[in-house]
Amino acid sequence: MKRIHVLEKNVAEQIAAGEVVERPASVVKELVENAVDAGATAVTVEIRHGGITYIRVTDNGSGVVAEDVPTAFLRHATSKVQVFDDLNAIGTLGFRGEALASIAAVSRVEFVTKTHDAPYATRFCIEGGEEMGCFETGAPDGTTVIVRDLFYNVPARLKFLKRDTVETSQINGIIDRLALSHPEVSVKLIIDRKTKLHTPGNGKLISAIHAVFGQDFAEALLPVDYGMNGISVTGFVSKTNAGRKTRSMQHFFVNGRYIHSKLCTAALEEAYENAMMVGKYPSCVLNLSLGFDRVDVNVHPAKTEVRFADERQTYDAVLSAVKASIQRADILKNARTDVSLPVRKQNVLNPFVPKEEAEQTVLSAKPVTVVLPESKPVNERKTDTGVPEMKQREEQAIRMVSEISHSVGFSNGTVRAPIAAYRLEEQEPPAPKQTTAPAKTEKEVDASFRHLKKDAFVLPNKQIKMVLEEDEDAPAIQTKEPEKKEEPSKPTVFRLIGEAFATYAVFESNDTLFLLDKHAAHERILFERLKKTVSSNERQILLSPVVVNTSAQEYQAVLEHESLVQSLGFFWEVFGNHSFLLREVPLLLAHLNVRDLFLDIAQKLMQQKQHVSTDLYEELLHSMACRSAVKANDDTKPEELEALLQEVVQNGEIRHCPHGRPVIISFSKQEIERRFGRIQ
């Protein structure tokens, strides 16, 4: 029987080193983290042959006191943790005290350091864990660590290293993440005597991103700056049209530490749901700042996995931050203050939306209060009823103005002066001024102003404004403005130019040209309406039930997922062999070929190989919306295109179809003129 014995020092150190030093990139990671913890503002990393033969890391940090240099290479020796409670609030990148000892155990190390107040620097040499000497030398403030011949005494580990190019790429990734997590540090990377990266260290994250990933990537980003539940989320995320085929460009940091987090990845991708092409993934450089006691970084030896105290709050913070950034970049939101389009009395998008909803205008009016001064006494004539004529006219005017104010969105004001008449005046061409005009009836005025908002707005062919004409003896009308009155912004008019390729509606507004994909827009509109209809369980009873014949597999799939299909708004009865009798269908889709629609759902259920999830539910809604939406090359009337744009402008959620394709894109006048060579 073999006896238990204590391992020799060099064997134990090499085993322990294997947990920390896996490859040259591990050495670089530990050394640059020590440099940042030392307060360095400039870090230079030089490698040769993939870091296997030579690694040099130089910083201008605080340095190490001469007496502490030999101690720094002992296992579990550190200046960052003093007592056990310090592990509950770790604010430094390194804390275990194993890096230098592990590196020295499997390589030849030269360590040169100098503090600011020291008269000279200290040079310490150690090979394979054995101290070779400690000397005084001259050097600038900071620390330089040179690592040669990695794994020279562990040939079994050496032979498992990859080619130099592979090891170099790993080190390059480490340095990239350091530059992104600490833009205030100037990072320089030299590979085989050639400078590959040099960041400015000006504290601006976008400058670091530009240096690391290039101009094209930096220009396709949106800024993020959001705070929620004591968690600050800052950085950049990609635009919705800049998706990538992999998640390789998703970079998350917590308090300046690079991490792998499925939680953050899930929150990021949920924010882009239905806003990015299917099969594409967003990119990001996001840093989460939160209390050190709210995140545990002592989970994995590589320190790239963390555990959050409240995962729900972290998830919500990332989700809300990214969504807010995407919404701020809305091209329509940035291009408009108000939208003026012809108001349609019938809903051309879907006949099942109530008429009242379809008649709502896009413009919104801010409430104002109208106050008129007291009128001077005048000679009054009485009517047959004995009521003074002026008083009767005043009461009639007040009642009419009140109704007009209500119809155009004004708050109920107090009208106290007699008003003689009302009229409509076209601005182009101007109507001749009338000094006297008969007062219109309440019914006529109500009909005239039914669709008016504010003072004036654009209608298909002319502008109309409301004119209040006063009695000659009455004082001028004065408007009492609110205490904090905002200057009314000029309405933005979207003018329909035409339709390109029978697919894209072309609009212009101010100095911007818009292309609207009518199928994508209508599909997303119906998708959003279907979700509301399904949640409210709105169904249409068919006057004549529809028989749907299915295959045996489709029949079985529908029966297995009966509750799911019914939640979509379908109600049926089994009707013979492999057949269903549809009696109720979703309200929005009752005008379609419900037989084909039901068969399409049955086929998707049959193809589902695993347990039905929310993704399948969404996919079924996508399919229903896509089948019922207007198609490319369909004959679409101008008023229908205008109604599509009106719906898109009103609803900020409609910027991408359910599959992630953009609904509307824009081209600035400056961009077009540059393409034609009008400007440089």
Question: What is the residue-wise DSSP string for 323-343?
Answer: HHHHHHT-HHHHH-S-EE-PP
Residue 196, pLDDT score:
93
Which are the contacts of 562, defined by CB distance < 8 A and separation ≥ 6?
none
Residue type, 93: L
Cβ atoms of 245 and 279 closer than 8 Å: yes
CATH class of the domain whose range is 504-664: alpha beta
Which are the contacts of 637, defined by CB distance < 8 A and separation ≥ 6?
348
Q: Which CATH architecture has domain 220-329?
A: 2-Layer Sandwich (3.30)
Residues of the chain with CATH 3.30.1370.100: 504-664
Return the exposure string of 596-630: e unless at least 16 CB atoms fall within 10 Å of the residue's CB, then b. ebbbebbbbbbebeeeeeeebbebbbbbbbbbbbb
Rounded to whole angstroms, how far apart are CA atoms 632 and 236?
35
Cβ atoms of 538 and 527 closer than 8 Å: no
Task: Name residues of the chain where pLDDT drops below 70.
Answer: 1-20, 77, 79-92, 94-97, 298-303, 331-492, 533-536, 588, 591-592, 608-618
Rounded to whole angstroms, how far apart are CA atoms 585 and 262?
39
Residue 636, pLDDT score:
87
* Residue in the block written with tokens 């014949």: 549
Cβ atoms of 445 and 400 closer than 8 Å: yes
Residues of the chain with CATH 3.30.230.10: 220-329
CATH topology of domain 9-198: Heat Shock Protein 90 (3.30.565)
Q: Which two tokens stand for residue 327?
A: 């919404």
Cβ atoms of 450 and 486 closer than 8 Å: no
Can you list the positions of beta strands (E) in 23-138? 42-48, 54-59, 108-114, 121-127, 130-137
Residues of the chain with CATH 3.30.565.10: 9-198
Torsions phi, psi for 572 (to 5 deg): -145, 175
Residue 487 CB coordination number (10 Å) = 5
Give the predicted TM-score (pTM) of the model. 0.59
Tell which residue, 310, 316, 298, 313, has the closest CA to residue 259. Answer: 298
Beta partners for 585? 540
Residue 278 CB coordination number (10 Å) = 13
Q: Which two tokens stand for residue 278?
A: 């299917």
| Three-state SS at 423 | strand
Task: Provide the CB-side half-sphere exposure for 622 (13 A, CA).
Answer: 17
Tell which residue, 179, 111, 120, has the closest CA to residue 144. Answer: 111
Residue type, 591: H
Residue 544, pLDDT score:
86
- Taking the mean position of all CA atoms in its chain, how far away is CA 515? 22
